């Protein structure tokens, strides 16, 4: 006898993104027991692996390998395994756990204008439910007056957004004076300010903030 297959009905409910009628939501959720050996292996992984997310950008694996070889390899001296994951997440496993901590402690890292979200991997990590609460971005300050173009003011602007990290080299060396560019940490839970006011005695300047590489603005 030929095997019997479930009949999938395509109709208005399917077009609205609802579950097909033969999938019963009230069906008891099965629980599968994970063997202890698997958990022990995961706990070892949690000491050496890193979760990365490039602000929603899906980087091709060959470009990621090239970027790590160029940027991370001078800092660490052992092997790395990269595992692309769901929703644009990446898991980077270091052969030496100390290398992972070195990457976390060394500096902020950017692939072009994209600053990755990074945190140590843990067994409860689920890309479907993980919420990114903060990330690093470059912010342009167009036509900033040169007489107030200094590190102290740039820090104040960055810390007013959330947290200042540093200014780009062109801004530091006045190599490009059409706009200043600073790296800041953004807190997604409080939103992004659209502009900032600068005030000195009777003088007031208003500037729009241009967030680079923010795909969902």
Q: Are 196 and 210 contacting, i.e. CB atoms less than 8 angstroms apart?
A: no
Same domain? For 161 and 204 the reply is yes
Q: Determine contact, residues 52/114, Cβ cutoff 8 Å.
A: no
Residue 202 lies in a domain: yes
Does one domain contain both 47 and 88?
yes
Same domain, 60 and 90: yes
- Give the pLDDT of residue 154: 92
- Check whether residue 164 and residue 111 sit in a common domain: no
> What stretches of the chain show up as alpha helix (H) in DSSP?
12-15, 36-46, 61-71, 97-106, 151-161, 169-172
Does residue 1 fall inside a structural domain? no
Q: How many residues does the chain have?
A: 217
The whole-number pLDDT of residue 83 equals 86
- The CATH code of the domain that includes 113 is 3.30.70.330
Nearest to 114 by CA among 9, 23, 186: 186
Instruction: Supply the range of the domain harboring residue 159.
Output: 134-211
User: Mean pLDDT for each consecutive 10-residue tract of the chain (217 residues)?
Assistant: 40 51 70 74 79 73 79 79 85 86 75 74 86 81 84 91 85 88 82 85 85 60
């Amino acid at each position: 006898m030929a095997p019997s297959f479930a009949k999938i009905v395509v109709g208005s409910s399917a077009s609205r993104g609802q579950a097909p009628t033969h999938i019963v939501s009230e069906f008891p959720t099965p629980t599968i027991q994970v063997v202890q050996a698997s958990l022990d292996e995961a706990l070892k992984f949690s000491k050496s692996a890193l979760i990365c997310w490039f602000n929603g950008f899906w980087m091709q694996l060959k470009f990621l390998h090239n970027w790590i070889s160029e940027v991370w390899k001078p800092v660490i001296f052992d092997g790395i395994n990269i595992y692309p994951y769901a929703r644009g997440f990446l898991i980077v496993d270091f052969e030496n756990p100390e290398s992972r901590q070195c990457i976390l402690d060394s500096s902020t890292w950017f692939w072009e204008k994209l600053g990755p979200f990074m945190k140590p991997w843990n067994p409860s990590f689920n890309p479907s439910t993980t919420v990114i609460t903060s990330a690093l971005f470059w912010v342009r300050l167009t036509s900033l007056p040169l007489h107030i173009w200094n590190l102290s003011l740039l820090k104040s602007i960055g810390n007013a957004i959330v947290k200042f990290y540093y200014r780009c080299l062109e801004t530091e060396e006045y190599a490009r004076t059409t706009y200043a560019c600073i790296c800041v940490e953004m807190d997604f839970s409080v939103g992004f300010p659209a502009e900032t006011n600068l005030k000195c005695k009777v003088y007031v300047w208003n500037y729009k903030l241009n967030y680079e590489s923010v795909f969902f603005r």
